[in-house]
């Protein structure tokens, strides 16, 4: 499958990985939008958040659990933002679900 993030999971494309287990991989975003900006992705290919099935609920929780644990490790205990851009109107550009974690700068609202 021609999926950029599946290639990162497979090690076919390099990434600055910060964590990996049997379910997820986390790596620094190549175009960081904050001093800390990393992505948490499932190893399983899921294109869209709206493709989640009930069988994926552990995985979805594990992505969120991993995101907050790594955010603390990366020095963001005082606050950070998680984002999952979903589909075209949501600004998604890579169609393999991923949770952005951004921190170490003051966030504003609303996002663009």
Q: Is 29 in the site for ligand AMP (CB under 6 A)?
A: yes
Distance (Å, whole) CA 41 – CA 59: 10
Chain residues 72-91 in contact with Zn ion, contact rule CB under 5 A = none
Q: How far is CA 33 from each of CA 58, 89, 101, rounded to the nearest angstrom?
A: 29, 20, 10
**Partner in contact with 96, chosen from ligand AMP, Zn ion, none, beta carbon below 5 to 8 Å by kind:** Zn ion
Q: Which of 37, 81, 96, 98 binds Zn ion (CB under 5 A)?
A: 96
Residue list 1-20, contact with Zn ion (CB under 5 A): 3, 5-6
Which residue number, 3 or 55, has a Cβ lying nearer to ligand AMP?
3
Q: Taking CB under 6 A as the rule, does residue 85 contact ligand AMP?
A: yes
Assess 61 for contact with ligand AMP (CB under 6 A). Answer: no
Q: If you write DSSP's letter for every residue of 36-93 in order, what string do you get?
A: EEEEEEESS----GGG--GGGHHHHHHHHHHHHHHHHHTT-TT-EEEE---TGGGT--
């Amino acid at each position: 499958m021609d999926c950029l993030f599946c290639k990162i999971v497979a090690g076919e494309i390099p990434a600055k990985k910060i964590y990996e287990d049997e379910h997820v991989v986390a790596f620094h975003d190549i175009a960081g939008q904050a001093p800390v900006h990393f992505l948490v992705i499932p190893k399983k290919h899921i294109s869209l958040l709206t493709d989640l099935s009930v069988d994926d609920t552990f995985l979805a929780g594990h992505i969120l659990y991993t995101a907050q644990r790594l955010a603390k490790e990366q020095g963001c205990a005082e606050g950070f933002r998680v984002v999952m851009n979903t589909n075209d109107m949501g600004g998604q550009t890579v169609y393999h679900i991923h949770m952005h974690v951004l921190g170490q700068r003051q966030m504003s609202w609303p996002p663009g």
